[in-house]
Structure 1
Amino acid sequence: MKILAALAAAFIMSSAAASAQTQTSISKIAFGPANTLFAADWRTGRIYAYTLGPATSAASRPFNLLDLQVPLAKAVGTERFRVDDLAMRPGTNEAYIALDAGRRNEPAIVRVTPAGTVTKLDLARTHSTSVALEKTGGGVTFWDKVPERAYTVTDMKWHKGRLYVAGLANQSFSSTLRILSYPFASQTIASVEMYHTVHNQWETRAPIRAMTFANVGGVDTLLAGYLCSPLVSIPVASLVDGAHVKAKTLAELGVAGIPQSMIVYDQPDMQSGKSYPFVLITERYRPSVAIPLSGIEKENAGAGITAPPSMTAPPGANLGAIVEDFDGALRIDNQDATFFVALRRNLDTGAPELVSYDKRASFRLSDADVSEYDFPAYKYNADYQQKYILPMQNMLKKEEGYRDLVVAPKAP
């Protein structure tokens, strides 16, 4: 047994050798400990860990970059690129964007600052280690164009000292969660089954599309979203090597949606001054929703959903879900305690934008068209307008770069 263990360890370490491989594709990125940036290579079925140089901590500063097309094209050397993922470097004002660039879809990662500086990382010259994922698939092509391997890694999160990797594997139950230690030394694989609320069946093939972690009723819990769009919970303790886990379905978030980002954050209440834990889920083809953790805890305490819910009820109504205004968002992350950062497309021009949203409002005032407040003759006379509306609007105008439009409050 000792010989077998030694051989297994040698195999894992050899697959995690420094600079032994070159990244050939990119699907997801995530920050880990000590300036480590993880990047998934779906073509080769590997996870890379890049060691970045130290970053300087800085006071919170919002992003207001309303046309990234030219800066991104200049950084990657081509106007043809596709955005894959976004990750905020913790404790800094640096956002990292993963892209496929050019006709050959070369992987690229760029660093963006609120000042608009866009810098491409030299992946070949950045110190890295990598590890091969076990049991990767690859035999199927979806819709005559998308290889199965493209879903090897559909989301990736660092949590309590381990890297959790969702995606597909080459096994009878394809939907898989891999858990990697770092530095790379061990790999746990568990398959996941969930009840799909719209399809009215238990499913083992469809992969998790977005996930996050939360303390749900005192239990460390993975929350995951799927295509078309069930939200499920999985106790982290159940994810042991070789396990086949049945997730608990908590809600249906809307037909045809594809979860893109899922994050936990504290939602401030501007009137009471208190904050409450929420889960934010952005989706492609569906509105974003913010769900109070209290609603998730209440539903999770029950048996879960095992029959189709009413299709006339608003998505996530049983959890107290709130529709949020993140139109055009491709990816979103926690920037810090004050802001979200969102990589989005302008709905009129299609231009990529990198912008911050104040969590106290969860919308950008400058996205609005024309309202009563925008006319020069308007006066904030009523007590409600002076106490609540004017302070909020002035706060957002300053954050979004429109200090010249700030209106002085009425003298007492």
Structure 2
Amino acid sequence: MCSPVQFSLFGFQVAPLGSSQIASVAAVALALFVSAPNPVSAADHYGLTPGPVELQSLGPITFAGKGVLLVGDPKAATVYAIAIAPDASATTNAAANPKDAAKLEIADIRRAIGDAVRSNGSDITIGDLAVDPDSGTIIVSAEGKGRRHLSRIRHDGTVQMINLSKVEHARKQLPNPPADKLTGEGRRQKNLRLESITDIAFFDGKVMVSGISADESPSNVMEFSFPFSDNSVVTNVQIYHAAHGRVEEPAIRTFIPMTIDGLPTLLAGFTCTPLVRFPIDSLGGKDTVRGTTVAELGNWNSPIDLIAYEKDGQTNLLMSNTARGVMKISTDQIQNAPGLTERVGGGGTAGQAFETIDAFDGVTQMDKFSDSQAIAIIGKEGETQKLVVMDLP
């Protein structure tokens, strides 16, 4: 005679059952298994497919959510969406538990990446830095001996290379980029293709890209849906450059989209160094849009990164620069600022109030790590550069 069957179902102990009862329970279990929703991977959600990604140049990078990294490749005039597995050493959500990475510091990030790719640190050039706000995954792009790399900086201080030879990804080719060739004469020669992508962001379900096109009015902001589609909205933009006292169409160097007083707004930094406000609703692609110059932050300088954060009930901007340190810029009344319309000469400043943060001296690349911290690379190209987590000022 057989003994009654005992088993557990979904972790609960089930009392002895007869054969008919077992059949009924099995049927219910099978129905639950079949009907239970399966988790959707980032690749499935965004339509990514496996294959090689061969980056031709280092451009801006940022996360789009669900572990997907957006990578700008200016020389190829292409934006890639690449699935990045979360950092296994980040055992908790970094945004909720910033102290988990508060001690993260790599004294020589070029050497650390060089070791990971079996190269000398002196051969490595750092590109950009991005943090996934959901998982705390940190990615640094770099170049060495003609090859471009993406490195995962783990919270335990080690470096892992992303295998780009077979990675789930999608790509978006930009419309009408400049020709890939040198133009101009003498010391003013440059390849405008390398400015086809100057910054990139993900906002309200869309990818936003700034750069230069082959249009008669070259400076533009592009918007396209994500997952990628064939549609693109390209809006040419211009500004009143207070340091020069005239209307110009320079390339945006860095920008941040954010909602201010309920209005979707793009704040953009330009070389020499105006900060300009654009209503995102005005970027419809039909007409050239002139932004409102809300600040002039000094000449002989170009902005690198721009982040926003809340502290003491105030929204602040933090901008790293090539020559003028890291600026903490007030957003007080920035949506209502009438804008500068007169020349600001002699390297002077005007508009939104700001202060230079001495504690961030030497910071080049940076990104927001948590509500109270930033992660930054300190040191100029060619020098010893360190990666460190810092408290937001």
Instruction: Give the TM bin, normalised by the shorter chain.
Output: 0.7 to 0.9
The equivalent residue for 1:89 is 132
In structure 2, the residue matched to 1:39 is 71
The corresponding residue for 2:269 is: 225
Out of 114, 131, 144, the residue aligned to residue 155 of structure 2 is 114
Asked whether the equivalents of residues 21 and 130 of structure 1 are also in contact (C-alpha less than 8 Å), the reply is no
Q: What's the counterpart of residue 196 of structure 1?
A: 241
CA distance in 1, matches of 2:155, 2:50: 32
Residue 68 and residue 200 in structure 1: after superposition, are their counterparts in 2 closer, same or farther (change >3 A)?
A: same
Moved more, 153-162 or 239-248: 239-248
Contact 1:93-1:113 within 8 A present in 2 as well:
no
State the match for 1:22 in structure 2. 54
Q: Quote the Cα distance in structure 1 between the aligned partners of 2:129 and 2:316.
A: 20
Q: Which residue of 1 aligns with 2:328?
A: 290
Report Cα offsets for 1:138-159 as digits up to 9, x if no partner: 2544646641111111100111
List alignment gaps of at least 5 residues for structure 2: 1-47
Mapping 1:237-316, distance limit 5 Å: 237-267=281-311, 274-299=312-337, 302=338, 304-309=339-344, 311=346, 315-316=349-350
CA distance in 2, matches of 1:327, 1:195: 29
**Cα distance in structure 2, aligned partners of 1:108 and 1:200:** 41
Which protein has the larger Cα radius of gyration, Structure 1 or Structure 2? 2
Q: Which residue of 2 aligns with 1:48?
A: 80
How far apart are 1:320 and its partner, in Å?
1.8
Q: C-alpha deviations, 1:293-352, integer Å up to 9, x for none? A: 1142342xx2x1121126475x35x312121122211111100012111111179x9311
8 Å contact 2:53–2:164 — kept in the other structure?
Answer: no
Of 244, 253, 257, the residue aligned with 1:209 is 253
The equivalent position to 2:357 in structure 1, one of 324, 331, 350, is 324
**1:13 match:** none
In structure 1, C-alpha distance between the alignment counterparts of 2:54 and 2:287, rounded to whole Å: 32
1:163-215 superposed Cα distances (whole Å, 9 cap, x missing partner): 110010010000011112111012111100111111111112x2000101233
Counterpart Cα distance in 2 of 1:350 and 1:216: 38
Alpha-carbon distance in 1 for matches of 2:86, 2:130: 17
Matching residue of 2:9: none
Name the CA distance, whole Å, in 1 between partners of 2:341 and 2:182: 29
SS of match in other structure, 2:334:
helix
Closer, same or farther: CA 149–332 of 1 in aligned 2, 3 Å: same
3-state SS in 2 of match to 1:150:
helix
| Cα deviation, residue 71, structure 1 | 1.0
In structure 2, what residue type is equivalent to 1:214? M
Q: Does the residue aligned with 2:371 lie in a helix, a strand or coil?
A: coil
CA RMSD of aligned residues (A): 2.2
Q: 1:26: Cα distance to partner?
A: 2.3
- Aligned-pair distance for 1:290? 0.9
The structural deviation recorded for 1:125 is 1.3
Report the equivalent of 1:76: 117
**What is the letter of the counterpart of residue 303 of structure 2?**
P
Residues 1:147 and 1:113: Cα distance change in structure 2 (over 3 Å): same
CA 1:285/1:119 → structure 2, altered by over 3 Å: closer, same or farther? same
TM (norm. structure 2) is: 0.79
How many angstroms does 1:243 deviate by?
Answer: 3.1
Cα separation, 2, equivalents of 1:70 and 1:225? 31
- Residues of 2 paired with 1:42 and 1:310: CA distance? 33
Q: Give SS of 2:79's match.
A: strand
The one of 378, 382, 392 equivalent to 1:344 is 378
Aligned length: 330
Alignment partner of 1:237: what SS? helix
Aligned counterparts of 2:215 and 2:377: Cα–Cα separation in 1: 34
Q: Distance in 1 between matches of 2:92 and 2:319?
A: 28
State the alpha-carbon separation in 2 of the partners of residues 118 and 64 from structure 1. Answer: 12
Asked whether the 8 Å contact 2:60–2:197 carries over to 1, the reply is: yes
Identify the structure with the greater strand proportion.
2
In terms of mean alpha carbon deviation, does 247-256 or 20-29 score higher? 20-29
Residue 114 of structure 1 and its aligned partner are, at CA, apart by 3.2
> The residue matched to 1:294 in structure 2 has which SS?
coil
User: Corresponding residue for 2:4?
Assistant: none
What is the Cα deviation at residue 356 of structure 1? 1.4
- Residue identity matched to 2:354: A
1:167-206 aligned at under 5 Å gives the runs 167-185=211-229, 186-204=231-249, 206=250
**AA in 2 matched with 1:53:** A
Question: Which of 368, 371, 379 matches 1:334?
Answer: 368
